[in-house]
Structure 1
Amino acid sequence: MKAENNSQQTEFSRRKFLGGAAATAAATTLLPGCKFVAGSGSNTIPEPPEFPEGVELYQQTFINWARETKISGVWFCSPRDGEEVLAVANWAKDHGYRLRPMGSAHGFAPTLIPRGHSGENVVIVNTHDYMTDIVVNADDEVKSASCGAGAYIEDICAELEKFDLGLYHTTAPGGVSIAGVLAMNAHGAAIPKIGETLQPGHSWGTLSNLVLEITAVAWNEQAGEYQLKTYQRTDPEIGPLLTSLARAFITHVKIQVGPNLKIRLQSRVDLTAAEVLAMPENETANSFSNLSDQYGTVDIIYYPFNPDNLVWLKTWTVTPEKPDHAREVFEPYQLSEGVSMPAWQADMLGSTLRTFPRIVPQFNKTSVDSLVDMMSNEDPESLINDLWGSAYTNTLYVQPMTPRLTVAAWGVVVARENLQRALAEWYVFFTELLADYQSRHEYPYVGPVEIRAQGLEYTDEVLIPGAIEPTLSGARPHPDHPEKNIIIWFAINNNPDQPLAAEFNTRLEQWFYSNYAGYGLVRPEWTKSYAYTADGQFGGAWTNDEILTEVYPSTWTDGYPEDNNWHTAVAQFNAMDPHGVFSNSHLDKLFPSDS
């Protein structure tokens, strides 16, 4: 039995954290959300010449998730299918334009369009307007979902539920496209509790490890044009496409799925960071690694400078039967209640924190107090500290009205037996780093930190023999270090453009590489911020050429097979797109055409 769904994402009514009216925009820019259709005469930069007829073309302001990249008047198009994508690709090659695929623009890294871009000679290709088909293959031996590039994760999960299928874990935001998720190696978090067995169709790794098939745009030298090509998970060429950083244009994806698991999501706000992140010799039952052994997936949110040093700790546990205390839920974003904020208010708050950084401790105290108050609710009709439902309802918890932050993020691959040690060492250094700045009355970091752990991309979890590893995945296992079997994700959320943040993140990143050199492997979280310099442009991220052009190639080459490493990925990207249509200045540096 198969089902198709082209519905737009569901909107959920949420309480607002603050109230007020909208801010005005400068008259010289396009208002966010306003479209100028091609041919209207209202465009602010030249219209792309001889654009393919029948493909929707319009000008609009581009704003990324963190609202730190804002480019007024970029040209967009909305193709209806892969054939229209091809028409635009071949047009772009002939007219000197570049194309950037976009599902929801929920990202921080400049893989879509770099901050400071003029908006000229580029067209952003919006896949979510039309390329959103979802077909559930529920009767196949390997259960799967075939999805258009622009289909949102929340819609895929909702459709799977109709067949009692689902994803064990997924991205926290549901309004992200499947192609974007795979391009950026997006992930949720899942790690087994002691004795837990993985159900067929699921994976402990990222969503990249679920892929069975990808259709992408590839140059055909003999035909002299871009064409669509489908890659199976057993094809060596699929490896780079499983985490492509949007250097390739994906039009269609097929992912394996598993049974619709029931998950219990519990939240606590009574534990301190010092206890949860204690050194191994000081472990208690409430230390991160012990909680992970007991419950499975663990996530902490930590606001520094809060007087009681409390963390918001969440656990996700497969629980077939509803516990008496838990509230059964039937829709996602339950944890978004009370922590929503309109974009203009987030902008105003961010400006205040940048202008008066000394209020950061009080702001964080207020944030933690609010969390404690929310979690103290024991009304069985509305409590959120103990929820039970499908993975769809309990793993999606970041929605569009969540306050927008920028994020520096790294992963550290370690042996699970070193999980607590790795966390504790980070906590000691991070506390000392914050104290160093605070002693000078400086607050380059607002918070919060989010820490999660998950499994790696093991191909034996793919239900097709001979599956290829995701070449550039942050969670890729290393053949020389089989004992390193989990990855810890450190997400350093911060207020955009916070003073001294570039210096702060540079010191932190350098510490990651030096501290874990003996027993861990440091990887960037591709969708976020990394490769810092203290004096770099636009907050310092993605400006460290040594990391971008030397460290990263070595990270995915040394010890890896000659036919599936960084350099073979670069060669394939350039073979699929020798004209650089699907690239930008950031990707040109990462994947140079002459390498």
Structure 2
Amino acid sequence: MAEQGAAERGPDGLSRRRLLAASAAGGAVWLLRGTVGPESARAIGTAPVLPGGLVPYQQVYENWAGEIRTSPLWVCAPDSPQQVADLADWAAANGWRLRAQGQRHGWAPFTVAAGTPADTRVLLVDTTRSLTALSLASGFGGAGGRAVRAQTGASLEDLLAFLADQGLGVAACPAPGDLTVGGALAVGGHGTAVPAAGETPRPGQGFGSLSNQVLSLTAVVHDASAGRYVLRTFDRSEADAAAFLVHLGRAFLTEVVLRAAPDTRLRCLSRVDVPATELFAAPGSPAAGGGRTFADFLASTGRVEAIWFAFTDHPWLKTWQPAPDKPLFAHEVSAPYNYPFSDNLPQPVAELAGQLVSGSEQLAPVFGQLQFLITKIGLTGDVTDLLLAPGLLRSLLSGDTLTHLLAGGLRSDLWGASRHLLQYVRPTTLRVTANGYAIHCRRSDVQWVVSRFASSYQQVLATHQARGEYPMNGAAEIRVTGLDDPVACGVPGAQPPLLSALRPHADHPEWDTAVWLDLLTLPGTPGLHAFYREIEQELLGLFDGTRAGLRVEWSKGWAYTTDAAWADPAVLGRTVPATLRAPGAPGWDEAVATLDGYDPARVFGNPFLDALLR
């Protein structure tokens, strides 16, 4: 197949097909981030003179999926939190803006927008080089559990490893390890967990976002009396702290103290034998009577994720359950990232992915079936479905590819320390774009939510397929968490994070649970924005605040037009703010006012945030 034209090429002239192949083969080529010093002849423009002898360099910013890519921008890496405050003073005085830069593992344009030109007066502040310290925190014993002090450039992988060395952990966390603490907190990063039926949470455990685990935070803020930006520590009991816990990049945190809990070993069971018609069956229907619905697994384990590849009948269902002792037949693991078949997809998958976005989108059903077969073989070693599959699938998974999958060992029953099972997405995983929503409901209505979603999703997918359109070629992912109950942090007087997608609804106290819905597809797939818009409008209608309510997942895609994400003025200007307002309770407006008050020059902002947080 011919390569795309120049307009369809990715960074540095690589075609998107080659980029996808590189992503699956190893991931190293996907993010081609050249670094150019200020003295180089390749530098664009004049380097800014920074305070404290900080030396700027130029770097292309590119996010996880490669959809946000800029011209080379000026970057610096401060050695201390005080240098960040000095940079804020410099930026305010010189008309620049500061953007915290971590691992760039996100989708939304909270750091910079795609196409930001090199002459933009924006300085990226890399937190991952020096602002990475981790230590146990003292003086927080009254909160119950224990606490860790973390600078915001530390990775979640390093944070969880540090906690594990102290016999500590968290109830849930995002699956990728290559997120910074600051980045995860900025968007309300979460995992998938609620207490199982009859389970008593341990001291220090929270079942909402990581932001709700914060006991104190240090932010760079403007001090009006001093006439400059300073470092200020906020205790979680202070009302203003609630605006910083999830701030969308409208603030700069340098350090946080997080509550942790005694670690617990987990057993992670994977199964692919429950059909979607049963797992997502409508409550009360005959299909829901066999004890194998999504809600049934949630009740028994509390920790559930369903990954449903497009155009397949059986999702990959994962459950995690506390298990102090190793079950007899479980495979003990001693490190995270235990699904090699998804961490490093075989080359045939990468090549087929490349074809999908370069003119052969009708292969999406084959791609979905291929992903399911790889998952099933990698988990169970069962090749029966492959033997019965069409010739194309058999050819894609023949020879060395099949041998590689079987050599990875069976992964359907794993046991080990929590962090080894909660983190399972490597940077080498195939890069996809994703939308994201949190549906708030009563826990007793979880099955109703997932059944309504599944039915609507299938109908939209079938309608597009009948028209010969295949905008969806990845997976639907479904997870469940609790809400951000401030009691979980153990600090008297604490408020929930004001901008968190998991902040409880003051006008719907009966809603105690969030169902997270994400649809993943390859960047560049024809028609993906129109498809996502259709799904978004369907969900807004289904979960209109009567029986359940919708909030966007900040880090993912939302506010779709037929051509772009984060672009629908009605969703941006009315729908999203309305979901975080409630009569008689602080919310959207209070958070915006607080963040503006501590950064009146909007040093920590960008044009997208200026429009969103008005």
**Contact persistence 2:307–2:317 (CA under 8 A):** yes
**Contact persistence 2:25–2:347 (CA under 8 A):** no
Deviation >6 Å, runs of 4+: 20-23, 342-345, 378-381
Which residue matches 1:543? Answer: 567
Which residue matches 1:11? Answer: none
Which residue matches 2:518? Answer: 491
Aligned residues: 562
What does 1:59-208 correspond to in 2, within 5 Å?
59-119=58-118, 120-137=120-137, 141=141, 142=144, 143-208=146-211
Q: Name which of 353, 356, 366 aligns with 1:349.
A: 353
What does 1:524-543 correspond to in 2, within 5 Å?
524-534=552-562, 536=563, 540-543=564-567
**Post-superposition offset of 1:383:** 2.5
Cα distance change on mapping 1:196 and 1:220 into 2, 3 Å: same
2:320 alignment partner AA:
W
TM-score by length of 1: 0.90
CA RMSD of aligned residues (A): 2.3
| Partner deviation per Cα, 1:113-162 (whole Å, 9 max, x = no partner) | 11121142111111011000000237962410101110111111111111
Q: Which moved more, 1:496-505 or 1:198-207?
A: 496-505
Which residue matches 1:370? Answer: 374
Cα distance change on mapping 1:343 and 1:200 into 2, 3 Å: farther
1:226 alignment partner AA:
Y
- Gap regions ≥5 residues in structure 1: 1-15, 26-30
2:32 alignment partner AA:
P
SS of the equivalent of 2:198 reads: coil
Cα distance change on mapping 1:484 and 1:159 into 2, 3 Å: same
**Contact persistence 2:192–2:479 (CA under 8 A):** yes
Cα distance change on mapping 1:278 and 1:568 into 2, 3 Å: same
CA distance in structure 2 between the partners assigned to 1:475 and 1:20 by the alignment: 35
CA distance in structure 2 between the partners assigned to 1:245 and 1:268 by the alignment: 36
Q: Name which of 564, 570, 577 aligns with 2:592.
A: 570
Cα distance change on mapping 1:235 and 1:344 into 2, 3 Å: farther
2:468 matches 1:425: no
Cα distance change on mapping 1:529 and 1:343 into 2, 3 Å: farther
| Partner deviation per Cα, 1:241-262 (whole Å, 9 max, x = no partner) | 1110010011111100000111
**Post-superposition offset of 1:545:** 1.2
Which residue matches 1:10? Answer: none
| Partner deviation per Cα, 1:25-45 (whole Å, 9 max, x = no partner) | 9xxxxx923211122332023
CA distance in structure 2 between the partners assigned to 1:478 and 1:335 by the alignment: 37
Cα distance change on mapping 1:318 and 1:178 into 2, 3 Å: same
SS of the equivalent of 2:229 reads: strand
CA distance in structure 2 between the partners assigned to 1:342 and 1:401 by the alignment: 11
**Post-superposition offset of 1:433:** 0.4
Which residue matches 1:413? Answer: 440
Which residue matches 1:388? Answer: 415
**Post-superposition offset of 1:62:** 1.1
Q: Name which of 245, 251, 255 aligns with 1:242.
A: 245
**Contact persistence 1:89–1:226 (CA under 8 A):** yes
**Post-superposition offset of 1:580:** 1.4
What does 1:186-265 correspond to in 2, within 5 Å?
186-265=189-268
2:43 alignment partner AA:
N
SS of the equivalent of 1:522 reads: strand
Cα distance change on mapping 1:84 and 1:170 into 2, 3 Å: same
CA distance in structure 2 between the partners assigned to 1:186 and 1:20 by the alignment: 26
**Contact persistence 1:342–1:403 (CA under 8 A):** no
CA distance in structure 2 between the partners assigned to 1:380 and 1:195 by the alignment: 39
SS of the equivalent of 2:266 reads: strand
1:591 alignment partner AA:
L
2:76 alignment partner AA:
C
**Contact persistence 1:172–1:396 (CA under 8 A):** yes
Cα distance change on mapping 1:381 and 1:45 into 2, 3 Å: closer
Percent identity, aligned pairs only, is 33
**Post-superposition offset of 1:469:** 1.0
SS of the equivalent of 1:314 reads: strand
1:125 alignment partner AA:
V
Which residue matches 2:582? Answer: 558
**Post-superposition offset of 1:470:** 0.7
Which residue matches 1:288? Answer: 294
2:465 matches 1:438: yes
2:271 matches 1:268: yes
Q: Whose helix proportion is higher, 1 or 2?
A: 2
Which residue matches 2:613? Answer: 591
Cα distance change on mapping 1:446 and 1:91 into 2, 3 Å: same
Q: Name which of 400, 408, 426 aligns with 2:427.
A: 400
Which residue matches 1:34? Answer: 34
Which residue matches 1:328? Answer: 332
**Post-superposition offset of 1:286:** 1.0
1:303 alignment partner AA:
F
**Post-superposition offset of 1:382:** 3.5
Which residue matches 2:317? Answer: 313
**Contact persistence 2:341–2:374 (CA under 8 A):** no
TM-score by length of 2: 0.88
CA distance in structure 2 between the partners assigned to 1:466 and 1:136 by the alignment: 24
Cα distance change on mapping 1:366 and 1:263 into 2, 3 Å: same
Cα distance change on mapping 1:134 and 1:342 into 2, 3 Å: farther
| Partner deviation per Cα, 1:270-310 (whole Å, 9 max, x = no partner) | 1211111011122131100011111221100001212xx11
**Contact persistence 1:134–1:148 (CA under 8 A):** yes
CA distance in structure 1 between the partners assigned to 2:35 and 2:558 by the alignment: 33
Which residue matches 2:391? Answer: none
